[in-house]
Structure 1
Amino acid sequence: MAAPGTARMENRKRQQRADSEVLLDRDLEDLPPDLRWREWMMRVEAVIFASREPVSREVLARVVGKDCSIDLLVDDLREELRNRPYDIVSVASGWQHRTRLVYGQAIRASAAPTRHISASLSDHEAAVLMTVGYFQPVTRTELTKIFGKEVSRDTMAGLREAGFLASGPRSPTPGAPYTFVTTPHFLASFGFDTLRDLPNMEMLEDAGLLSRHDMAQPDEVEDSTSDEMEE
């Protein structure tokens, strides 16, 4: 049962959302169709621009009419931004403003403070994170078997603190340890819309992040270790 204070806070939030829906005219039926569409576009762009995280379709639906196509709105916005140094991109099952990669060097050269969306990762941390992406839900013990060396608690804690990993369901193995899964922040930080967008093995090898031995299934690594012990 929720604490009384928590329940009051949740009720207040629900009331605020209800009040905002009453105050905001979403359908804009008094406007001509072209002006209505323009206003919807501006609302959608304002919400995406103001948000620190990718904005979902459900969130955007709160500010436009029930018969509005959000996909078409975003398409029109992206067309207007075609000649701008930033774009609206689809990441983590939502949309977010992103600076175009071609201007990355100019931004770095300016030394201007920027809104960082990802922490700086070591090669090992990046490899562990990508492996969780492929094999999730996965335990730390299974990660250790995959890499053939211990993946430390500190490594996993650091990736959790950076917002890339979260606890998954308990493993059916003895002791029922917690597993690790990636988060929407992981998808957004690396520009993935869904986990299906993870790069294939060849791309990871070309980038020098992982090798096929690194990505061997836990059973395969265990078998090879057993063979070595028998020898």
Structure 2
Amino acid sequence: MEDHSPVPEGESLFDAPLMAEQERMVEAVLFASAAPVTLRDLESRMPHGCNPAEALARLRKKYEGRGVQVVRVGDTWAMRTASDLGFLMQKETVETRKLSRAAIETLAIIAYHQPVTRAEIEEIRGVSVSRGTIDQLLEMEWIRLGRRKMTPGRPVTFVVTPHFLDHFGLESARDLPGLKELRAAGLLENRPPPGVLGLGDLDDEDDEQSELFED
């Protein structure tokens, strides 16, 4: 038998779900998604009238201090293991593919100077950049083509991708570590990769004269 009872006064058949229910919806989508999702993705999945931005903000606050957190990755959102618990997920494996020194330097320049052209990368490195190096970073989806520069020839630029940010647990490129953090992590001995220079956080004059990495 169909229910023809009237809708209670003050309520509507078209009212959006309560915010608590919207939080549950956002939580379910983030948990099940293989890749970070945008606000537009959430809005398209949720019922009409929902406010995914507010639901995200509330959900993010609820997960503060938990083992899993709601994090922003560029313009997208995802659920990730808390950064201080990352060691629990580590597993010793044989690394079958390793970035070359040229690729590391090129990636550092793009990350710290984006958007940057190939000519600018070569100027900073002081040597030419092989097509294979750029292709490798593109294949790994750590960099992508950016907008063309408004200069003669309209050269293409390169920028880092959300996949790069997600891999390194960064919300945006502004969260890239400075020299002190790189040294503390054991990634530098004396001097940062080309392109990290000039950011205003050099703490001694010897940095520009010291060696990059030990081969």
- When the two chains are superposed, the root-mean-square deviation of aligned CA atoms in Å is 3.6
Structure 1-normalised TM-score?
A: 0.62
Match of 2:194 in 1: 214
Match of 1:102 in 2: 84
Match of 1:135 in 2: 113
Match of 1:197 in 2: 175
Letter in 2 for 1:85: G
| Greater share of residues in helix | 1
Which whole-Å CA distance do the structure 2 matches of 1:179 and 1:210 have between them?
Answer: 29
Match of 1:220 in 2: none
Letter in 2 for 1:49: F
Q: Look up the SS of the partner of 2:121 in the other structure.
A: helix
**Alignment match of 2:123 (pick from 145, 149, 174):** 145
Indicate if the aligned counterparts of 2:22 and 2:52 stay in contact, CA closer than 8 A: no
Residues 18-66 of structure 1 show CA distances to partners (whole Å, capped at 9, x for unaligned) of: xxxxxxxxxx955999x73332122111211222222111111223455
Write the mapping of 1:158-169 to structure 2, written as runs, cut at 5 A.
158-169=136-147
Letter in 2 for 1:148: G
Letter in 1 for 2:75: S
Indicate if the aligned counterparts of 1:54 and 1:92 stay in contact, CA closer than 8 A: no
Q: Look up the SS of the partner of 1:214 in the other structure.
A: coil
**Alignment match of 1:184 (pick from 151, 162, 176):** 162
Aligned residues: 182
Query: Does 1:44 find its partner at 2:22?
Result: no
Change in CA separation of 1:92 and 1:123 when aligned onto 2, cut-off 3 Å? farther
Residues 196-230 of structure 1 show CA distances to partners (whole Å, capped at 9, x for unaligned) of: 3333455446542994682358xxxxxxxxxxxxx
Indicate if the aligned counterparts of 1:78 and 1:88 stay in contact, CA closer than 8 A: yes
Q: Look up the SS of the partner of 1:89 in the other structure.
A: strand
Deviates more, 1:195-204 or 1:40-49: 195-204
Change in CA separation of 1:66 and 1:126 when aligned onto 2, cut-off 3 Å? farther
Indicate if the aligned counterparts of 1:91 and 1:188 stay in contact, CA closer than 8 A: yes
Deviates more, 1:52-61 or 1:166-175: 166-175
Match of 2:7 in 1: none
Letter in 2 for 1:130: A
Which whole-Å CA distance do the structure 2 matches of 1:92 and 1:57 have between them?
Answer: 12
Indicate if the aligned counterparts of 1:87 and 1:100 stay in contact, CA closer than 8 A: yes
Write the mapping of 1:3-42 to structure 2, written as runs, cut at 5 A.
29=12, 36-42=18-24
Unaligned runs of 5+ in 1: 1-27, 112-118, 218-231
Q: Look up the SS of the partner of 1:199 in the other structure.
A: coil
Unaligned runs of 5+ in 2: 1-10, 199-215
Deviates more, 1:208-217 or 1:156-165: 208-217
Letter in 1 for 2:58: D
Change in CA separation of 1:46 and 1:73 when aligned onto 2, cut-off 3 Å? same
